[in-house]
């Protein structure tokens, strides 16, 4: 299986889940999506991660993002695990967990890394846009829980830069100044696109207030 790269179409699939069978592209519809994998059910780090995702439900909703998790365990195991997650994390899991018992989705998304484990999926994240294109991939070791504030930050950056001619600098947070893309040089276009003005630190490094604020 070739590694999925940025800009590739996220592979479609139909697979059982904690809420019943899911046809992935149809389920996504015109939303952004986050597909994130877990080594197994009833694992401590993943329990905290799914709880964190559930608590961010409103944050994902206002960004038009649908989260979906994956583990290689079967549906009944997922349902029992969700009960534990809700109890221990003070949350209510309100998104599906794919039951990838036959490893079909794991193979499509290259989630089995034999040098890490021959059976468990690695802890990967895919951010997918409404055109079903992969916009970000992250893979963590089993020992390190994901930072969901960073995932939200990346979504904010992707959605901002998708619709405005800007990029986000190092450590950018929503509301900070952004960078004007170097391809825009015409003064009239600059004035039209960035009416708040900009600061040219260097000809190639121009900072402007966030356009959608």
Catalytic residue among 10, 22, 35, 46: 46
Per DSSP, the three-state class of 31 is: coil
Does residue 46 have an active-site annotation?
yes
* Distances 43 to 8, 81, 145 between C-alpha atoms, Å: 31, 9, 11
DSSP assignment string, 155-204: HHHHHHHHHSSEE--TT--TTS-EEE-TT---HHHHHHH-TT--EEEETT
DSSP assignment string, 71-133: ESS-HHHHHHHHHHHHHHHT----S-EEE-TT-HHHHHTT-B-TTT-SSSBPEEEEEE-TTSB
| Positions marked active-site | 46
């Amino acid at each position: 299986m070739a590694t999925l790269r940025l800009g590739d179409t996220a592979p479609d699939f139909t697979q059982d889940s904690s809420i019943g069978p899911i046809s992935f592209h149809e389920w996504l519809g015109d939303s952004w999506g986050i597909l994130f994998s877990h080594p197994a059910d009833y694992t401590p780090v993943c329990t905290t991660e799914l709880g964190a995702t559930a608590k961010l439900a409103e944050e994902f909703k206002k960004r038009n993002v649908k989260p979906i998790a994956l583990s290689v365990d079967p549906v009944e195991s997922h349902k029992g695990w969700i009960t534990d997650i809700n109890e221990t994390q003070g949350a209510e899991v309100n998104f599906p967990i794919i039951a990838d018992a036959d490893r079909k989705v794991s193979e499509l998304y290259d989630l089995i890394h034999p040098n890490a484990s021959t059976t468990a999926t690695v802890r990967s994240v895919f951010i997918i846009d409404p055109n079903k294109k992969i916009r970000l991939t992250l893979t963590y070791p089993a020992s390190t829980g994901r930072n969901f504030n960073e995932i939200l930050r990346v979504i904010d950056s992707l959605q901002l830069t998708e619709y405005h001619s800007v990029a986000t600098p190092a450590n950018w947070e929503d509301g900070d100044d952004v960078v004007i893309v170097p391809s825009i040089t015409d003064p009239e276009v600059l004035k039209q696109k960035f009416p708040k003005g900009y600061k040219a630190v260097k000809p190639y490094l121009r900072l402007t207030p966030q356009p959608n604020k």
